[in-house]
């Protein structure tokens, strides 16, 4: 899916452009992903696991662009990728009413309203696509994400104990949230 670009204003007054990523931004996307993975333990990858080549990432971005079911939005502030979010709607008939959502923002842009703005776009598009529910998972302790998700109408439906084990051996639960759209 292609996202029709849109400008928003962040809480600090800065302009932010929301748009689809371009396949020729593959290197910038990988650098951005590595930065996110360095700054937080709350995404599933460690930075050294961001191993896609530029060509692989380019193919991935192109596939999203051409997909009827998947959407990615990037947030551009002062010319750099500040964050991204994704909506993946299931394809098979029995589960076509469900969409998975995910989001990441680099640290200097946290608490600036960007997560809220991007999530609102995903919710609006999911509704347009006749999606009936959005689903996501978060890692224990991610209070900022929980605050955002609850504000956007998601509720916790389950816990996977020891869903994650950090390098230092710390076990953490993963929680499953759903927002019903009908
Ligand atoms: C989680 C994340 C997407 C939130 O995005 P964001 O742009 O910072 O979110 P927003 O500024 O729109 O909203 C955050 C809300 O949490 C609140 N908040 C911030 N820190 C908080 C904390 N420690 N406890 C509770 N609430 C908190 C803010 O006040 C704000 O609420 P408000 O809009 O009602 O004032 C972002 O911080 C991020 O990418 N983190 C790292 C990666 C990550 O965790 N991804 C999600 C994986 S599940």
**Does 53 fall in a domain?**
yes
Nearest residue to 102 via CA among 154, 65, 60: 154
pLDDT confidence band for 155 (50 / 70 / 90): very high
**Does 153 fall in a domain?**
no
**Does 165 fall in a domain?**
no
**Does 180 fall in a domain?**
no
Probe target for ligand 1 pocket from 36, 148, 164, with the most ligand atoms within 8 Å of CB:
148
Report H helices in 129-175: 143-151
Query: pLDDT of 47-65, one tens digit each?
Result: 999 999 999 999 999 999 9
For residue 120, give the CATH number of its domain: 3.40.630.30
Q: What is the pTM of this model?
A: 0.96
Domain count, the chain: 1
**Does 142 fall in a domain?**
no
Task: Give the residue numbers spanning the domain of 35.
Answer: 6-131
What is the CA(129)–ligand 1 centre distance, in A?
Answer: 26
**Does 140 fall in a domain?**
no
Own/partner pairs, 78-84, CB within 8 angstroms, 24+ separation: 78/14, 80/28, 80/32, 81/21, 81/25, 81/28, 81/29, 81/32, 81/106, 82/16, 82/106, 82/108, 82/109, 82/114, 83/109, 83/114, 83/115, 83/118, 84/21, 84/29, 84/32, 84/118
Query: pLDDT of 98-148, one tens digit each?
Result: 999 999 999 999 999 999 999 999 999 999 999 999 999 999 999 999 999
Q: Kindly report the number of other CB atoms within 10 A of residue 72's CB atom.
A: 21
**Does 90 fall in a domain?**
yes
**Does 67 fall in a domain?**
yes
- Average pLDDT on 61-87 reads 96
């Amino acid at each position: 899916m292609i996202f029709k670009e849109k400008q928003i204003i962040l809480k600090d007054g800065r302009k932010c452009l929301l748009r689809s990523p371009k396949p020729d931004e593959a290197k910038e996307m990988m650098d951005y992903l590595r930065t996110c993975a360095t700054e937080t333990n709350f995404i599933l990858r460690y930075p050294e696991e961001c191993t896609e080549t530029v060509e692989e990432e380019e193919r991935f971005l192109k596939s999203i662009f051409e997909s009827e079911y998947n959407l990615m939005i990037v947030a551009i502030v002062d010319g750099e990728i500040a964050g991204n979010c994704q909506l993946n709607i299931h394809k098979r008939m029995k589960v076509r009413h469900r969409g998975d959502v995910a989001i990441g923002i680099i640290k200097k842009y946290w608490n600036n309203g960007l997560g809220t703005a991007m999530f609102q776009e995903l919710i609006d598009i999911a509704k347009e696509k006749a999606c009936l529910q959005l689903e996501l998972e978060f890692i224990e302790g991610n209070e900022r994400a929980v605050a955002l998700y609850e504000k956007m109408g998601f509720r916790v439906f389950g816990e996977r104990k020891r869903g994650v084990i950090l390098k230092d051996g710390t076990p953490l639960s993963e929680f499953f949230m759903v927002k019903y759209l009908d």
